[in-house]
Structure 1
């Protein structure tokens, strides 16, 4: 059998590596859905923490393989991207919690929404990263645009207080309610149901609030990708490293969600840390140019990024503990 096509270059990486990664992701998701969550059940905080640890271990193990097979520079770039994307994904938890609350999604079915949401993310991120990689390869100056965007975004996060998203007045929510038949309540784990339309008296398809929640979760990821995709391209322009670090960081998000949703108030100072990370990642491209370096040293990039995030997490836990004692 002819297998030479497996070694053909695709976006700078042999095709077999892309296929191997996608096969690994499919195997992980199949194990998650077919074994760990074969039956619908509520996920408690303890189980959420264990599953999150498993996904983090898988992501770091893949990073170790990248380090061994592609070299230390690629390994450091992967780990930096993984840490940054994982941290940025934490900020998404708050929005997802608001979406679930607005649509009154029972905890029993939240994992289903998050699971199908991850499948959408895998496709959407592939498209966004593929387009980004093509544009950066053709127009290298775009990296400076990405870097400037990250700096501005980070500064804005530091000094401008975000307003809590109003899901009820969201344009997409209003569009779905006006254009589609929507059920008043949930119908178990179903996204679509067939029932009598009061206006016509005929059986017709309705979308459920569970499906609307899924759509909003996907849209939320696209919005957050506007920050995360430029951030990872500012770390490395290797599409394989960009995509794999993104996906492995996001894969464990739905497992981590159930633990974080219960203690999101403990991470009060994580957002300023995220802002500083974005400013650092964006500025290091300009700093490297000023110093006459080809690129900012990967080891320093990972170390500084990790130090900022770890400091934000530690300070948050310390300050919220003191607040709790004072109360």
Structure 2
């Protein structure tokens, strides 16, 4: 593996099934120097304090899979990335890495959280943590290593969209134009899918997940539901009854899940509060109009995680996976 640095390619594309994400554009060293002079020093804000980037960074560390995807989409191969245990990279990450001329990443085992020593040993100029789920615990230690690109605002961890995270990261890395190109490319793919499925426009949807301790209303008002809304779907009025702090649906009130389209994920299998067989066999669930009318569909386990943690790379992979499911559900052919 060659030394990981910021890489820029001309019109590079990452194959994601039938979709692609445009990577960073070509730039000479003089262009980089000019960008550095114009954009830096740069003050980075976060809920935990401010830090300053004196010059455009080249060695970039990331602390989450979301930030890894953002870096790769921008044409950046991180000097260190997290990898949980023996898990492999996601397929869209492998494709993006290959498009940048790399076959593997330098990683740390994130099973027990962020490895400060491994990150420090990689000598990064900056640390991307726009989706750092333990940043409230990690910020002080990480800030001793390098400036941190955080999520913005007290609720930014949960409320920021993938596009907003990408924009924040791109600005910090001096790659604003590349960030705009990545965001525009994803938007164009969604516009194309929405145009191909005009039946999605104005249809309400609910997305719920069966967790071990509750039925969770994922698509509450204020959550990042841009994957669906960018296709033309809208939230039902019921979504206003739920929030990040209050997202549980009781078995007695399972009818609150109703919408024109109902999506349910069962990523915990038999360890969930209800298995798929148990929920689908429940009389109250069967009486929900969306279920009775064939407008209910199951979210595959492989889809649940990238749907919960969207990125500029995973969004297009999800588009390929979910549009057929949504089309069947709208038509009343769901639940198969």
Task: Output the TM-score relative to the length of structure 1.
Answer: 0.23
Flag the structure with higher helix content. 1
Task: Output the TM-score relative to the length of structure 2.
Answer: 0.23
Relative contact order, CA 8 A, sep 6+: which one is greater? 1
Flag the structure with higher strand content. 2
